[in-house]
Chains A and B, each alone.
Chain A
């Protein structure tokens, strides 16, 4: 299994440009989420989804859009990039928490480093 795959690994944007960070998982996990990691701020939740067609906002959703049309994919869209969105982005997924050793455990992608100039 590939697990959680994020693309691209690195991206440089100019202020005002838009782009999509891709996230795909092949584990049939219901729950998927996007975090950003900034020095001293830890991991902050941007958006999350508990299944296809269902998304909700996390702590820092402004400037980002998500959709969940399939179980496997959860893309994160930056509508008009700003320097404040320079960060490392992580996608994570987990199975529904119904028991078992893997329940509620997040599997993370390798990360996408975004720089906005």
Chain B
């Protein structure tokens, strides 16, 4: 069965510093990987995805993620954090089989400190 692990419940970073939110996955075959963000009292919004190709994926709001097949990781990164980046971040993996079942991690709360 496919699964995603987000080992940190919360990440605190100072404004202007680089940030990393960690994600590891388990899936049979080649993974489709995603990051979504949830701002307070809002629905989820898509940030970026990895399907195939370059291991470094760029997405919305200056975020990027690095796919590492040997470490089965897909960490989310941003070179310089903004206070407005404070939100709940979810990593997700999609079954590459016939059915598009998408499994989410437990989420990581990012707090950017002014």
- What's the least CB distance linking B46 to chain A, in Å? 5
A105 contacts the other chain (CB 8 A): yes
**Of B94, B98, B104, the contact of A42 (CB 8 Å cutoff):** B104
- What's the least CB distance linking A19 to chain B, in Å? 21
State whether B36 touches A90 (Cβ < 8 A): no
* Total interface residues in chain A, CB < 8 Å: 28
| Chain B 50-75 interface 0/1 with A at a Cβ cutoff of 8 Å (1 = within) | 01000000000000000000000000
Instruction: Report Cα–Cα, A109/B104, bound state, in Å.
Output: 16
- What's the least CB distance linking B51 to chain A, in Å? 7
A25 contacts the other chain (CB 8 A): no
Knowing A43-B90, A104-B49, the reply to whether A111 touches B43 (Cβ < 8 A) is yes
B34 contacts the other chain (CB 8 A): yes
**Of A43, A44, A45, the contact of B101 (CB 8 Å cutoff):** A45
| Chain B 63-100 interface 0/1 with A at a Cβ cutoff of 8 Å (1 = within) | 00000000000000000000000000010101000111
B102 contacts the other chain (CB 8 A): yes
Instruction: Report Cα–Cα, A82/B105, bound state, in Å.
Output: 25
Give chain A's interface residues, CB within 8 Å of chain B.
31, 33, 35, 40-45, 48, 50, 56, 58-59, 90, 92, 94, 96-97, 103-111
Given contacts A58-B101, A90-B44, A110-B42, 7 further A-B contacts (CB under 8 A): A35-B104, A43-B90, A43-B104, A45-B103, A104-B100, A105-B34, A106-B46
